Amino acid sequence: MKRRNFVAGLMSGCVLLIVTMPLTAQTAVTYSRSQLRRTVDPSPRSAYGSVLMQKKGTQQIFQATVQQLGIESFALYVGDRPTFSTGCCVYAVAPLDRTNAKKGNWTRQLVGVGEAPPQLLVPDLSNLANWEVDVSMPGQNNLIIGVTNVVGNVTNVIYGIPVPTPDVTNLVTSSLWAPLYPLSANPSALSYQRKNAQTPPGAVPPPSPGATAKIAVKFLGSQGRSVFDVQAKKLTRGQVYHVFIADSTNQVSYLLIDAGTMTASKTGSSARFLRDTHFGDPLPQQVRDAGDLSGRVIQIRDDFGFIHLSGVIP
């Protein structure tokens, strides 16, 4: 009599069921960060801060933090344009909360569930892409902008937003602003770094024959941070140097605008022009990020107008 394998017989007479357990889905997160920068250009380093927009599941968060802003009465405003401008209106969001008077620290976090925080007046945070946010103080003449028309001795406000009192318009003075970037699951993918050089002009004998300069343009997408850096060496000593940047990428017809004075070395043969939005520095011509300057003519001139170096921003 043959013995039958018990296990084999059991397996041949059974149906095996494989049960799979569902994996817990990770909460989808998209966000953008941007750096607050001063509205006065050029200006010495002072206040700085950042803005975070984040969507995590059904929660939508808008948070602003500011440091070294020592005086009182500041609030958040938003404007539906990609760069800072005094030519039109902004919309009140909420007052900032001063968390440390000695250090000048302020913050405000707004939260919405399934929608943008209601203070922002948009249905979703994604609607704020390519807008601007301002940190502003009250003005003196209670108009949000100074654009009015006068007809028959009657003044009519063209752009008026009832803030903070209904039916009353206010003028606000902005101290800091930041661009609001589109939300992304990977903002770091937007990062870039570019370099180029400046050389003496060739049409006439240059005032600094051996001078050279390096231009570095950087954007860190995860921080919304821009760096614009110009370093020159072997300049004629004893001069004050300025960086001039064209107002457009048209290299045939353009207007050169003084972006500011360079910081000279002790000997005066080297000079540097650095703007870093992480420290609240405004970028030349208040552009949104450093890459917006790419393709523009750039020159280094002295106080007399002599052109020592020329090139194109990478």
Provide the residue ranges of all domains of the chain, joining segments of one domain with +.
Answer: 29-179, 187-312
- Cα of first residue to Cα of last residue in the chain, in angstroms, is 90
Tell me which residue has tokens 């569930």.
113
The tokens describing 157, both together, are: 């406000």
Q: Please check the confidence at residue 5 and state whether its pLDDT lies above 60.
A: no
CA separation for the pair 285, 45 (Å, rounded): 17
Q: Please check the confidence at residue 190 and state whether its pLDDT lies above 80.
A: yes
pLDDT at 118: 96
Q: Which of 126-140, 273-287, 289-303 has the lowest mean pLDDT?
A: 126-140
Architecture of domain 187-312 in this structure? Sandwich (2.60)
CB 240 within 8 A of CB 302: yes
CB 36 within 8 A of CB 69: no
Summary mean pLDDT of the chain: 86
pLDDT at 87: 73
Mean pLDDT score, 223-245: 98
| Band of pLDDT at residue 140, cut at 50, 70 and 90 | low
Q: Please check the confidence at residue 236 and state whether its pLDDT lies above 60.
A: yes
In order of 23, 32, 60, 220, the CA distances from 55 in angstroms are: 22, 9, 4, 20
Domains 29-179 and 187-312 share a fold: yes
| Band of pLDDT at residue 161, cut at 50, 70 and 90 | very low
pLDDT at 251: 87
Q: Please check the confidence at residue 212 and state whether its pLDDT lies above 70.
A: yes
pLDDT at 81: 92
Mean pLDDT score, 81-89: 84
Share of the chain above pLDDT 70, in %: 82
- Reduced to 3 states (helix: H, G, I; strand: E, B; else coil), residue 7 is helix
CA separation for the pair 200, 209 (Å, rounded): 7
- Reduced to 3 states (helix: H, G, I; strand: E, B; else coil), residue 11 is helix
pLDDT at 71: 85
Q: Please check the confidence at residue 23 and state whether its pLDDT lies above 90.
A: no
Architecture of domain 29-179 in this structure? Sandwich (2.60)
pLDDT at 170: 62
In order of 46, 47, 78, 130, 280, the CA distances from 38 in angstroms are: 8, 8, 15, 18, 6
CA separation for the pair 264, 267 (Å, rounded): 8
pLDDT at 3: 46
